[in-house]
A and B are shown apart, each in its own frame.
Chain A
Amino acid sequence: MQHQQDHHASAAAAGLAKTPTGIRGLDDITLGGLPKGRPALLCGAAGCGKTLFSMTFLVNGATAYDEPGVFMSFEERARDLEENVASLGYHLADLVADKKLVVDHIHIEHSEIEESGDYDLEGLFVRLGFAIDSIGAKRVVLDTIEALFSGLSDTALLRAELRRLFGWLKDKGVTAIITAERGEGQLTRFGIEEYVSDCVILLDNRVEDQITTRRLRVVKYRGSAHGTNEYPFLIDAEGITVLPITSAGLKHKISLEPVSTGVDDLDAMLGAGGYFRGSSVLISGLAGTGKSTYGAAFVDAACRRGSRCLYFAFEESPEQIARNMRSVGFDLQQHADSGLLRFEAARPSIYGFEMHLARMYRDIERFDPQAIVVDPISAFRGPSMEIHATLVRIADICKSRGITAVFTSLSTVGDQMNESERSVSSLMDTWISLTDMEANGERNRVLYILKSRGMSHSKQLREYQLSDKGIHFVDVYAGPEGVLTGTARLAQEAREREASKARQQNIQKMHRELTRKREAAERRIAELHADLAREEDEVRRIIEQEEAREATLGSDRSTMATARGQQHGQ
């Protein structure tokens, strides 16, 4: 988020004016919206939401930004269009009556058209210009202009005219969305991206494992930074939500303020007097150990303090949860009635992970809760990497907003850590494990705190009971398990001592080895020095001998000469 804001600031400084789409998330990804006064291309396969997307751009412009808009539909008739977008809560007729919107259906019927000689698309320009001027439009949508190619045969002329049209739109200073069908091997079927290149957004609708996920990607945004990932988006009765999956990073503010768990004894065990505000809590446990009850206790306590809570239910309906929790003494219905508690229930299999994430993000943003419960995360089935990514994002979203999040997870006997637990354990600040223990012919529910960052928490196993008065802790449990833990720890310490001793011995051995090598090297250096000295002596001795011999020879010669001279002289 921080990263994005930095970009935001620099984009603003650079002076690239933008037109907000008012679509949640998209304006974050594009750091402010579409390029103001320019056409942007929105492409995607049939049925991926191009029309709804672009209509939302106009409706938001008309209602939220006081920018009237023109919708030129080349495919759907105005009436059909009106009915289709009514599902998003848009009342086009009212906007048209208020002169905030013009919807013009351009009907091209190939069979009624005969071509005879030269023509251009001036008629379209005049028609569009008239619509723009009639309401002072600032936004224009052409959906889907490629339909012209099926009605008119001269594609070379069409291309030239489209290029002229986009230039003309720029001159008009309107911010436009041009929609186009996805083509084979290129972004659009007729290569429109060649002409509209300031901003290109790609919509995609993929089906994986029978679950559909809509995704959006900003392929290109000339002169502006933008998020480059694929972002999931959601179209439902609430409109369009794009989920900017930016890693919230680790910059969020932390709080030392405790938030009650709703169970007094557990607050005491945690040391700090509850969970930290804004922390992520995992409550994992076997079936029937009361995971949801702990979640409900937390929600009940939060609502009693007047905090807003959002409860994401993936296995039970809200009514079912309210009824079940009433039997253990938590009246969640009253909080729901007072508006402090809100349930969002959905089967995990109806959407992909990213869709769930998008939905949850939107719900969190709208309801603005101080606490959320996700019950349970183990309901998500799929590749652990995806589950992990989804949960990281939820945890990040909550942390960045200071929302205390409680996640429950179902464990199975023998499998101490299931896929979703393993993938999220490092994310969680507090991890409470619920299990049942068999002793003296009975099963008892037992709780222990696996970890709780930044708190000096109790390490004890505690037995608890669920009754119509809520969760009640009983005396400290001291069974064979605890003893085992003790001996295991002792054994571990002994092993560590052994290992440390061995390591020290090893180091000493290495020291000795090194000393020995150094001594050997020094000995050899000394030998070499000695050899050298010996050789020097030898050489010097030979030189001296040679010199002596030279001298002797010289003197012999002179002696001989003298002797000869004497002979000659005779």
Chain B
Amino acid sequence: MTSDAAVPIPDPGRYKLCLFVTGSTPRSARAIENMQKICDENLHGRYDLEIIDVYENPEATRDLQIIATPTLVKILPEPLRRIIGDLSDKERVLAGLNLAPVGAAHNRSK
């Protein structure tokens, strides 16, 4: 326990997110815009968001199991979640990020 004190303890509530997009297509732009908005409104600076263009960084698709684009990957906090689409359905995005009320998170009907 004493050794841990030297390392800054990561904020357990801090989000590590990756958004995979395909160049500058309208859908990609839409996804980025929606993401920014959700972060600003719900995460209030408690996040690191990396935007990855799969055309420029194709090997990243393999590392994070990307098949659909756009895909938002919530790496932290666990569990890992993928939210695919242009993030226009805010309710679902929040559910995926575990930010919605408990009832909504469990009510992910398809």
Contact = CB atoms under 8 A, between A and B. Distances in A.
Given A112-B80, A112-B82, A118 B67 contact: no
Interface residues of B, number: 37
Interface stretch (A120-128, A395-403, A475-483): A120-128
A129 B58 contact: yes
B69 A119 contact: yes
Contacts of A107: 65
B61 A127 contact: yes
Interface of B: 20, 22, 27, 30-31, 34, 54-55, 58-59, 61-62, 65-71, 79-90, 92-93, 95-96, 108, 110
Nearest to A107: B65
Nearest to A133: B58
Contact of A123 (B31, B61, B80, B92): B61
B16 to A, nearest CB: 15
Given A104-B62, A118-B88, A126-B61, 6 more contacts: A113-B81, A114-B84, A122-B22, A123-B54, A126-B55, A126-B69
A130 B66 CA distance: 13
B66 A120 contact: no
Nearest to B55: A126
A115 B92 CA distance: 7
Contacts of B71: 119, 123
A153 interface: yes
Given A114-B82, A130-B61, A123 B93 contact: no
Interface string A96-126: 0000000010111000111111111111101
B50 to A, nearest CB: 15
Contact of B81 (A108, A112, A120, A123): A112
B39 to A, nearest CB: 14
A152 interface: yes
A148 interface: yes
A143 to B, nearest CB: 15
A556 to B, nearest CB: 126
Contacts of A121: 67-69
Interface centre among B22, B27, B67, B71 (most CB of A within 10 A): B67
Given A122-B54, A129-B58, A116 B67 contact: no
A129 B80 CA distance: 26
A119 B61 contact: no
Contacts of B30: 117
Interface of A: 104, 106-108, 112-124, 126-127, 129-131, 148, 152-153
A117 B67 contact: no
B87 A124 contact: no
Nearest to B59: A130
A123 B85 contact: no
Give the dominant DSSP class at A's interface. mixed
Contacts of A119: 27, 68-71, 84-86
B92 A114 contact: yes
B68 A117 contact: no
A120 B62 CA distance: 17
13 contacts: A112-B79, A113-B81, A113-B82, A115-B85, A116-B86, A117-B89, A119-B85, A121-B67, A123-B66, A126-B69, A127-B66, A152-B84, A153-B110
Given A115-B92, A117-B89, A130-B58, A124 B84 contact: no
A104 B65 CA distance: 10
A117 B85 contact: yes
B66 A118 contact: no
B82 A117 contact: no
Contacts of B68: 119-124, 152
Contacts of B92: 114-116
Contacts of B88: 116-118
Contact of A118 (B20, B27, B54, B55): B27
Given A114-B92, A116-B96, A122-B22, A127 B62 contact: yes
Contacts of B61: 123-124, 126-127, 130
A106 B85 contact: no
> Which 9 pairs across A and B sit closest by C-beta, in order of nearness?
A117-B85, A114-B96, A130-B58, A117-B88, A117-B86, A123-B66, A116-B92, A127-B61, A116-B89
